[in-house]
């Protein structure tokens, strides 16, 4: 059984428990759903229908791409459905021979007017559009990476670590002098190494702009890694999966306040990392770091981390909120990224990608605070 079929089998099991006959996953411009790629390998726009009898129907916008990359029992071009999801849904029900009155599920991101259209067009069926449903089930499954995904992350992390080394070398040698130099270097070198590009827009902020969590605009032609504190946040994308790291560059002379920001950030990182264990509540890790900063009379204005995968932000959430009920499980990969920001002194952040193992953790990436 290939990896995509094995993943679909997990959803079929969930469907059987829930009594759901057909689920539609939609990865289109209005409603992006990376679960389609997770379950089929299809990298572009498509509708995916799963049936309780363990059959899959992929309806891609680009049939040529689907025939090369995708795995599904049936693949039919979207053009044959007049590029309309409702027509595609009716066709899927006919193909699957779904009994009238069956439960059908659509994305919880479906707008209410569109939901009413489904109810009207498929009136002989029970249409489900709910938060706690198929989408949530897939999200939970995707948060725990399987062997294929972990192998991709090991390869991706190696490329990311090479990039980190080259970036430090480029800054020290003077080859990378501006924010734009750093950002375009990452984009170019990523593609040279077989990546699909960057996982998100690179954030390069020189000392005059590093006070923001995410610099705006993302990067400029301004100086980078000159006197003071600079931040470089980037991720590379390989076979759909993204890394996410942040380097900080400290160029002397530094004020005592800037030195303190660096020291506190490094200590906070070590504090958080020391608590990573399978079975640990993710919220407790974030709370420990928030408490550490609080004792130093500092506040971190963002969460401590987040899961990564086919999206730059996915489960598990590593943040100190009462609604955060994620429990660390072997196979989860997430960022650990404490940071502090000051309008006058600038900011710093240290971010690496962490794999939860059976006995603890593995730090996949080698980002750091670079003292020039």
Residue whose entry in the numeric block shows the structure tokens 């950002």? 183
Last residue of a domain, one of 95, 123, 142: 142
Whether residue 137 is found in the same domain as residue 150: no
* Alpha-carbon span 300 to 286, nearest angstrom: 10
Whether residue 157 is found in the same domain as residue 258: yes
Whether residue 246 is found in the same domain as residue 151: yes
* Alpha-carbon span 38 to 139, nearest angstrom: 10
Whether residue 55 is found in the same domain as residue 80: yes
Last residue of a domain, one of 111, 142, 173: 142
Whether residue 37 is found in the same domain as residue 126: yes
Residue 65: C-alpha distances to residues 76, 173, 264 (Å): 12, 42, 48
Residue 305's CATH number = 3.90.230.10
Nearest to 142 by CA among 303, 281, 278, 331: 331
Structural domain range at position 165: 144-371
The pTM assigned to this predicted structure is 0.95
Structure tokens at 261: 């920001």
Structure tokens at 37: 């790629």
Per-residue pLDDT of the chain (372 residues; tens, 9 = 90+): 699 999 999 999 999 999 999 999 999 988 999 999 999 999 989 999 999 999 999 999 999 999 999 999 999 999 999 999 999 999 999 999 999 999 999 999 999 999 999 999 999 999 999 999 999 999 999 999 999 999 999 999 999 999 999 999 999 999 999 999 999 999 999 999 999 999 999 999 999 999 999 999 999 999 999 999 999 999 999 999 999 999 999 999 999 999 999 999 999 999 999 999 999 999 999 999 999 999 999 999 999 999 999 999 999 999 999 889 999 999 999 999 999 999 999 999 999 999 999 999 999 999 999 999
């Amino acid at each position: 059984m290939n990896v995509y079929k094995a993943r679909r089998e997990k959803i079929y099991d969930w469907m059987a428990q829930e009594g759901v006959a057909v689920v539609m996953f939609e990865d289109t411009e209005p409603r992006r759903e990376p679960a389609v790629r997770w379950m089929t390998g299809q990298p572009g726009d498509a509708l995916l229908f799963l049936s309780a009898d363990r059959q899959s129907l992929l309806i891609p916008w680009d049939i040529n791409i689907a025939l090369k990359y995708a795995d599904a029992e049936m693949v039919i071009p979207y053009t044959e459905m007049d590029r309309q999801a409702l027509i595609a849904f009716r066709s899927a029900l006919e193909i699957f021979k779904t009994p009238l009155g069956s439960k059908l599920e659509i994305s919880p991101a479906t707008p209410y007017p569109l939901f009413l259209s489904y109810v009207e067009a498929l009136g002989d069926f029970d249409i489900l559009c709910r938060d706690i449903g198929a989408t949530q089930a897939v999200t939970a499954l995707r948060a725990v990476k399987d062997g294929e995904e972990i192998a991709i992350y090991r390869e991706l992390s190696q490329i990311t670590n090479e990039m980190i080394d080259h970036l430090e070398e480029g800054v020290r040698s003077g080859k990378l002098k501006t924010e734009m130099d750093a950002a375009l270097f990452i984009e170019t070198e990523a593609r040279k190494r077989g990546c699909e590009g960057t996982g998100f827009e690179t954030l390069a902020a020189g000392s005059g702009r590093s006070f923001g969590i995410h610099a705006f605009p993302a990067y400029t032609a301004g100086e980078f890694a000159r006197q003071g504190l600079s931040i470089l946040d980037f991720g590379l994308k390989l076979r759909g999966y993204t890394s996410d790291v942040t380097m900080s560059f400290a160029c002397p002379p530094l004020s005592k306040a800037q030195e303190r920001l660096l020291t506190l950030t490094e200590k906070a990182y070590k504090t958080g990392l020391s608590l990573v264990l399978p079975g640990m509540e993710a919220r407790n890790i974030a709370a420990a770091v928030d408490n550490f900063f609080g004792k130093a009379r500092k506040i971190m204005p963002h969460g401590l981390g987040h899961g990564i995968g086919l999206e730059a932000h996915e489960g598990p959430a590593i943040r100190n909120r009462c609604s955060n009920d994620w429990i660390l499980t072997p196979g989860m990969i997430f960022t650990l990224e404490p940071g502090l920001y000051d309008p006058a002194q600038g900011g710093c952040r240290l971010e690496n990608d962490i794999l939860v193992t059976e006995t603890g953790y593995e730090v996949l990436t080698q980002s750091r605070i670079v003292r020039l």
